Structure 1
């Protein structure tokens, strides 16, 4: 009874999906001659365990390509495969470059658990290495007047083929690289690295440049869309600075129409000063007249003395001024 139960446990442990401690991405398609990077996630309890990457249809018989405890242990990798563990993120990264069609197949992310009765924790991914082309980004956008660059990837068997950049729907618009993998015009520049990618740069973009294009190599092509955004003009609210002219006024030469060239006597301060002066003089004369009236009331009719009295006004006379000597002999002579 015990033996059948053990067999059931072992069988269940080997079933796909029975262990979810390691996970990775889905199936991948890679151009021949290109590279691929695969993240393998694991549970935190496996931080100190050895991680590995192997190739084969079945995990039990897969060929090891790289291990975290000995990165140089897989001769089949030939330096094309690297593995690196990141314990802080609980993931190890596998990179493969210069892929060929023979590299297509099943691969496994594995965490070595050890022990006779405990199988390793693994996750599988199928990688297909194909011929053809692809674009790093199939949707590009840029502002009017600026530039944009398209990156076109191609497989290994297309390295010696000429590369083309064409406007979709217009075969006569194709621009083709020369024997050195170059093309240059007023606004378009193409460069082929002769490995797995060529770039197309369009300068001084105009609104009419918006639309669909395609990268081509041999009989392969891939579509790329370019969107050109119109420039937005910002209206300045600051008025333009005008040239300021400085006028030097000559105080000796002034125009009568110039509000700053009024005569001195038209100044409000001068007018107020003159009015105040006239009022002060009138008030003083009025006080002097009142003083004369008071003295006349206290003065006798035949008073003879040598005093000199100044009475500049007579009753009703405000224009003439008289000097009267009250000395009798002097008055007799005058009469």
Structure 2
């Protein structure tokens, strides 16, 4: 066997790792007692393959925790570790619940290839289970006069510890939950659910509330910044001029016509009298003009007759 063939056979089990990738983030961190969901992405040719999640640094010494071909009728919500494959999105997700600090370590997202000369396609990630505190959002903002709620998370060992909310730089401002896990005054309310989170609610933000704060449980704390923005200014609107409502125009009907008939009759009579008076005046003028034209004609006729009889 040639040297090239020997090298090819030696590298053959690792070829899929170069051609077909499974990927995820290099590291995940979670508070003790919390849950963690990890997405593992793969190439299209692996859509129908079995996927698995195991704890360990190498495939040969990896403790299997969940597989997609495990069809035991167990509610995923009740499992400590569950796995779900979505071949459409080409990703399988692993969820681990109620994590303990000793569960920190290396884990593997794997696609089972099978066969003597083919290695599984895998990727490694490191999970850190820590004790302490964190905030869901470390930067919060709200308009002046509005309400805002900050959620602070803590690990399991601080479940019974007193929770505090303090303005940074002024420990005298600290507000404590007390034995019942709550605190409330006219401006702030604190509620501890004793399951891993407590909330701080500003009931009505003021501009002076802008500052850095601390969520605290036991000796652990995490910083949160609250920014209060001014209320938006609104331009006053000038009311449009309105006119008094006028009654709608009534259509002319027989009733409305008869109600106006006396007025219309008087108008008609007056118009007729004026018309007749104008006609009479014009007739008199024409008659006088006709009479004044007839007298000169009669004189001319008499002169003509007299001159004829004299000859």
Which TM class, normalised by the smaller chain length?
A: 0.7 to 0.9
Bigger share in helix: 2
Q: Which residue of 2 aligns with 1:206?
A: 206
Contact 1:31–1:129 (8 Å) recurs in 2: yes
Q: What SS class does the counterpart of residue 60 from structure 2 fall into?
A: helix
Distance 1:187 1:240 in 2: 41
Q: Which residue of 2 aligns with 1:291?
A: 290
Measured after TM superposition, the shift of residue 57 of structure 1 is 2.2
Q: Which residue of 2 aligns with 1:107?
A: 107
Contact 2:40–2:92 (8 Å) recurs in 1: yes
Q: Which residue of 2 aligns with 1:59?
A: 59
Greater relative contact order (CA < 8 Å, ≥ 6 in sequence): 2
Q: What SS class does the counterpart of residue 216 from structure 2 fall into?
A: strand
Distance 2:280 2:297 in 1: 25
Deviations 1:15-71 (A, max 9, x none): 996465211112111111111110000111111110000001222110000000106
Q: What SS class does the counterpart of residue 157 from structure 1 fall into?
A: helix
Q: Which residue of 1 aligns with 2:263?
A: none
Measured after TM superposition, the shift of residue 101 of structure 1 is 0.7
Deviations 1:62-84 (A, max 9, x none): 0000000106599xxx8211100
Structure-2 change in CA distance of 1:181 and 1:10 (3 Å): farther
Q: Which residue of 2 aligns with 1:79?
A: 79
Q: How many residues align?
A: 269
Q: Tell me, which stretches of 5 or more residues in structure 2 are unaligned? A: 247-270, 303-311
Measured after TM superposition, the shift of residue 6 of structure 1 is 3.9
Contact 1:67–1:73 (8 Å) recurs in 2: no
Distance 1:73 1:63 in 2: 21
Contact 2:13–2:117 (8 Å) recurs in 1: no
Contact 2:51–2:110 (8 Å) recurs in 1: yes
Distance 1:141 1:9 in 2: 61
Measured after TM superposition, the shift of residue 9 of structure 1 is 4.2
Deviations 1:199-251 (A, max 9, x none): 111111122211211111111111111111212222243327789699xxxxx
Measured after TM superposition, the shift of residue 167 of structure 1 is 1.1
The aligned runs of 1:42-57 (5 Å cut-off) are: 42-57=42-57
Q: Please say if 1:147 is aligned against 2:150.
A: no
Distance 1:243 1:205 in 2: 44
Q: What SS class does the counterpart of residue 179 from structure 1 fall into?
A: coil
Deviations 1:103-125 (A, max 9, x none): 10000000001101111100110
Distance 1:207 1:168 in 2: 16
Normalization by structure 1: what TM-score? 0.71
Q: What SS class does the counterpart of residue 123 from structure 1 fall into?
A: strand
Q: Which residue of 2 aligns with 1:222?
A: 222
